[in-house]
Structure 1
Amino acid sequence: MGSVRKASAWLGLVEDNDERYYDDEYAEGERGEGDSWVTDPRVRVASETAEEVGRRIATVSPAGFRDARAIGELFRDGVPVIVNLTAMESADAKRVVDFAAGLTFGLRGSIERVATRVFLLTPADTQIVSGETGSRTEGGFFNQS
């Protein structure tokens, strides 16, 4: 089959009668339930859910102080929680921060401000890795002068 004919067949413009390129292993009915398609051997496709492994992070944007209970329940279950207080009034936001500080102190976790009115609550067994550039040396990789 010529290259123009192959390209036309690949685009679906002509009918492909050449069956030698078809691999029975990839037939529609041959795939198992848990199989994943991977195109690059360096890409790892997770077959298990994040909940089973414990790699969950919750984001909560409370509308009022009544939503603080959801934050507490998630944190108590060992899930790191990102709390976005930008949509709340200032008085209620302060109450939620006080609640979160008490929660993290009581369960030996930590609280860190990520941005203005956005906080990260992490359980005791979670390590936060900082992406600060202060540890890089001068004249590093991107210095092309």
Structure 2
Amino acid sequence: MGSVRKASAWLGLVDDNDDERYYDDDNYAEGQDSGDAWVTDPRVKVASETAEETGRRIGTVTPDSFRDARGIGELFRDGVPVIINLTAMEPADAKRVVDFAAGLTFGLRGTIERVATRVFLLTPANTEIVSGEAPGRQTGGFFNQS
């Protein structure tokens, strides 16, 4: 265990009981395939396995730079609707991510919709977006006091 890792364990920032298995190359020699090991990016959140089985998953991604666009593409390619929050990005990089997302949705026959300022929803081709507006709502109704 490295000195930084030991200090982090001493401060209680990380668990020190099983961290060696992540850094030893011997684990791969014991029959574990390196393709099975993957790390979840804390900026990407996806619903649980139960939701995956029923097809009710939505991914949320808050990218820091354009490099995070790959994660967006992988989720969307798997048929998962993705909410992209670009509020933490520089405007130039945010524009590149929106351009990438537009091309991604066009190529996979999905849709892209702006939800709020710098927040977008990407939906695959087999997903229907249901509006929150009540059907047949009149604009000049009872509560309009103008």
TM-score (norm 2): 0.61
Give SS of 1:97's match: helix
Give the match for residue 22 of structure 2.
none
Give the match for residue 82 of structure 1.
83
Please list the CA deviations of residues 9-62 of structure 1 after superposition, one character each: whole Å capped at 9, or x if unmatched.
xxxxxxxxxxxxxxxxxxxxxxxxxxxxxxxxxxxxxxx811101100000000
Q: Say whether 1:70 aligns with 2:76.
A: no
What is the 5 A alignment of 1:116-131? Answer: 116-131=117-132
Letter of the 1:118 partner, please give it.
V
Give the match for residue 52 of structure 1.
53
Give SS of 2:57's match: coil
Give 1:132 shift: 2.5
Q: Distance in 1 between matches of 2:66 and 2:57?
A: 24
Give the match for residue 97 of structure 2.
96
Q: May I ask how many residue pairs the two structures share in their alignment?
A: 94
Unaligned stretches of 5+ residues in structure 2: 1-48
Letter of the 1:50 partner, please give it.
A
Give 1:131 shift: 1.1
Q: Distance in 2 between matches of 1:135 and 1:81?
A: 29
Give SS of 1:127's match: coil
Give SS of 1:121's match: strand
Q: Say whether 1:135 aligns with 2:145.
A: no
Letter of the 1:110 partner, please give it.
T
Unaligned stretches of 5+ residues in structure 1: 1-47
With over 3 angstroms needed to count, the CA separation of the structure-2 counterparts of 1:134 and 1:106, relative to structure 1, is same
Higher radius of gyration, 1 or 2: 1
Please list the CA deviations of residues 47-102 of structure 1 after superposition, one character each: whole Å capped at 9, or x if unmatched.
x8111011000000000000000000000000000000000000000000000000
Q: Distance in 2 between matches of 1:74 and 1:80?
A: 8
TM-score (norm 1): 0.61
